[in-house]
Amino acid sequence: MTLSEADTRAQAPQTPGSEWWRTAAIYQIYPRSFADHSGDGVGDLPGVTAHLDDLRDLGVDALWLSPFQRSPQNDAGYDVADYCDVDPLFGTLADFDGMLAGAHARGIRIIVDLVPNHSSDQHAWFQEALRAAPGSRERARYMFRDGKGENGEEPPNNWESVFGGPAWSRVTEADGTPGQWYLHLFDASQPDFDWSNEEVREEFRRILRFWLDRGVDGFRVDVAHGLVKQAGLPDYTPDPDAGSMGGDEASVPYWGQPAVHEIYRDWHMLLAEYDGDRALCAEAWLPSVAQTALWVRPDEMHQAFNFEYLETPWDAAHLRAVIAESIATYSGVGAPTTWVLSNHDVVRHATRLSMTVEVPQGYGVGPQTPGKPDYATGVRRARAATSLMLALPGSAYIYQGEELGLPEATELPDDARQDPTWFRTHGERYGRDGCRVPIPWRADAPAFGFSETGASWLPQPDQWAALARDVQTNDPDSTLSLYRSLLAERRARGLGAGGLEWLEGYPDGVVAFRNGDLTVVANVTGGTVPLPAGSVVVASSPLTDDGIPADTTVWVAAD
Ligand code: NOJ
């Protein structure tokens, strides 16, 4: 429920210190690949509604839905043409309301994706800007600039798009002559807004209210580190190994500019006018935990994705270091730590954690990538890694399909690929399609139950029949059963609200800690390590007579 218009005083948090987002297990739905109700091969909102009982049974507290708003789908919906409507591909606003009500009725909260750095080039504002003259109010909503060179034939600076190629495109003016350039940090069909323009700020306040009034519980904010660009737009050449979202670099003129924080302070106050502890989560790829923590200071966002954790190799010393640093740094600003291992932009962790070569974020894994692991090793490590993650205090994100142990689809044919990264790099980077393949529900059904018609916007690997949800549902050793147990125990024992006490006396290759009455031991040594005294609550792989085998995490409760 929203406050009456007369009463716009900021509300104090309903449950200070124990707001739901501090501890929630949040499941990411990538709508186009979750469940297809209409039969056109693309998942949709009625498909989500149809599976809400499955999500309740899995034991998650909230869902984050990647974009379903109106979009030409050049970047799978991260190119929004109308922020306040549902794309017909995914259903209608009434379908959204039905899905939200169904989720709330089951005690599941809903977070929607907000894409404020750029719109689609089909957005009414950008179409107006194309028709308007240089210097006009319409152009001032985006980053239009004159080109360099005698006739403005060179782009205004040397910035590169995250997806490869130049970050500027030149328009043809209304009179048919070559004209100004506009900035697009992503695809040419994703023009960047100019956030120094108050009209842009006001429009996004309206968009936030539109969804808050409908009852959403929060927003995942896309490219939350990119909205403000350094004055003067100075040239910048990225480190080629840094990963496409900017990863390790200290100072980039389009990432992490100090003035971006004002925007989130403003949004924080806006959300606080609503009841229910509504939340903002930053998607901000920054060089360190310390920098990311700036996004979750008390008057800014509530959560930020801990990509430092996601990018940590399967190595005990690195894991201990990132866990300790994350907890110390985020609690230093009064924010919960989030934990995440997979999403729609990275190689699924059932593949990534046992690759023998490093793959920069956004590059993907394909038929020619060296160092691909065997599935058994990958899924074993993924189960151990998730069992470690879900024992940590804070909030955890799960990406659809990881509860089935899905690996990356590494053998997609070239002609099936759809990620703009693949096209803009002329096939040099495979991109992210391999983690976006529609998930399998029923082994013997067309498209493994994703769509009754058998249609699927990306082809599903044949081997996924063995990973379908119906095959795993009643198998106590399945990855799905493991996730259900982990989530149920996590909730029952209050692990998200717990603490972490490191345990000494284990070999170097072990991550061992206590959270409440639970002892958690992740064995990353390659050999077997002894099982601590107590009752085994969950083990990510079968234990042996000697103890905890390699690549296994165990939760043990004090007797
Ligand atoms: C981050 C999103 O997660 C990704 O999928 C998208 O391509 C870019 N932002 C651009 O919106």
Does the C-beta of 75 come closer than 6 Å to ligand 1? Answer: yes
Q: How far apart are CA 40 and CA 32, in angstroms?
A: 10
Cα(233) to ligand 1 centroid in Å equals 22
Q: How far apart are CA 349 and CA 400, in angstroms?
A: 12
Look at ligand 1, atom 11, and give the residue with the nearest C-alpha.
78
Cα(524) to ligand 1 centroid in Å equals 32
* Choice among 222, 402, 419, 551 that is catalytic: 222
Contact 533, 340 (CB under 8 A): no
The tokens describing 181, both together, are: 């350039």
The tokens describing 142, both together, are: 């985006």
Give residue 373's pLDDT: 83
- For 337-374, what is each residue's pLDDT tens digit? 999 999 999 999 999 999 999 999 999 999 999 998 89
Look at ligand 1, atom 6, and give the residue with the nearest C-alpha.
78
Beta-strand pair 82-86/69-70: antiparallel
Contact 189, 72 (CB under 8 A): yes
Which residues does 366 contact at the CB level (< 8 Å), separation at least 6?
410, 411, 412, 430, 434
Cα(431) to ligand 1 centroid in Å equals 12
Does residue 283 have an active-site annotation?
Answer: yes
Which residues does 543 contact at the CB level (< 8 Å), separation at least 6?
531, 536, 549, 552, 554
Amino acid present at 366? G
Does residue 504 have an active-site annotation?
Answer: no
- For 150-182, what is each residue's pLDDT tens digit? 999 999 999 999 999 999 999 999 899 999 999
Best probe residue, ligand 1, of 30, 66, 78 (max atoms within 8 Å of C-beta): 78
Contact 245, 226 (CB under 8 A): no
Give residue 52's pLDDT: 98
At what angle are helices 198-214 and 93-105 packed, to 10 degrees? 60
Burial of 145 (0-12, 13-18, 19+ CB in 10 A): middle
What residue ranges of the chain have pLDDT lower than 70?
1-11, 240-250
Give residue 9's pLDDT: 44
Best probe residue, ligand 1, of 115, 223, 245, 285 (max atoms within 8 Å of C-beta): 223
Q: How far apart are CA 99 and CA 51, in angstroms?
A: 10
Does the C-beta of 80 come closer than 6 Å to ligand 1? Answer: no
Q: How far apart are CA 73 and CA 65, in angstroms?
A: 15
Q: How far apart are CA 360 and CA 362, in angstroms?
A: 6
Q: How far is CA 42 from each of CA 35, 114, 156, rounded to the nearest angstrom? A: 8, 21, 39
Closest approach atom of ligand 1 to CA 343: 3
Does the C-beta of 64 come closer than 6 Å to ligand 1? Answer: no
Cα(97) to ligand 1 centroid in Å equals 25
Q: How far apart are CA 115 and CA 27, in angstroms?
A: 19
* Choice among 75, 87, 283, 308 that is catalytic: 283
Q: How far apart are CA 82 and CA 84, in angstroms?
A: 6
Best probe residue, ligand 1, of 28, 80, 193, 345 (max atoms within 8 Å of C-beta): 345
